[in-house]
Chain A
Amino acid sequence: DIPLTQSPSSLSASVGDRVSITCRASRGIATYLNWYQHKRGKAPKLLIYAASNLQSGVPSRFSGSGSGTEFTLTISGLQPEDFGTYYCQQSFTTQYTFGQGTQLEIK
């Protein structure tokens, strides 16, 4: 099992802000790291796969970086619709694990 730790657990930011969420793995996972956005009552949405690849249809203000044990999801120019909970997920091993989530609130 590879636990993932996200920070912060929650944050509040204003429209137009640049926001970063960190995901740390307990051991190296190369770039086998994916990011999702989840809004209550909706299907989770893939944002970034393989650490830095933007999923088709996802706005370019979302970006991902990192490798090994530390990864970052950045939203450049926060929009009102970006509220929700963000999760990282590793697929380095076939015992997939998710981070505990980061709740993003728009001020």
Chain B
Amino acid sequence: QVQLQESGPGLVKPSGTLSLTCSVSGASSTSYYWSWIRQPPGRGLEWIGYVFHTGATNHNSFLGNRVTISLDASKGQFSLRLTSVTAADTAIYFCATSTPTPSRHFDSWGQGILVSVSS
């Protein structure tokens, strides 16, 4: 059973950079898609993006070029970096994994971390 745990600052200033890390344990293989997903207050889930074990990345087009997702397999971690944040980026941020099957379902999730953007 893969276990994931998000960590990082809970408060970021407007125009600043949001940086989060997801620590992974129990993964029998590194051949996963490692994703970030968020839930703004009172709203549903939004997929942010993923990094594949090869280092290839993909992210939601609505975030433009503000997002970077990277993988450090040697540390069992992957990271999210979101620049030029505004109040609209306030959300609970989840990390999740999906195996490279056609359905690419998110089969393991972290508990989530609340990040607020405020001065």
Is the beta-carbon distance between B106 and A50 smaller than 8 angstroms?
Answer: no
| Cα distance, A91 to B96, chains bound together (Å) | 14
With contacts defined as CB atoms under 8 Å apart, how many contacts are there between chain A and chain B in the complex? 64
Are A89 and B111 touching (Cβ within 8 A)?
no
Within 8 A of A (CB), among B57-106: 58, 60-61, 94, 96, 101-106
Q: Does A87 contact B (CB under 8 A)?
A: yes
Pair A43/B105 contact, Cβ less than 8 Å: no
Docked CA distance A101–B44 (Å): 6
Q: Check A12 for interface membership: any CB of B closer than 8 A.
A: no
**Pairwise interchain contact B61-A43, C-beta atoms closer than 8 A:** no
Given A1-B61, A95-B60, A95-B61, decide whether A87 and B45 contact each other with a Cβ distance below 8 A. yes
Interface size on B, residues (CB 8 A): 22
Chain A residues touching B, majority SS: loop
- The docked-state distance in angstroms from the alpha carbon of A65 to that of B101 is 19
Contacts from A to B (Cβ < 8 Å): 1, 31-32, 34, 36, 38, 41-46, 49-50, 53, 55, 87, 89, 91, 94-101
Most chain A beta-carbon neighbours within 10 Å: one of B45, B46, B94: B45
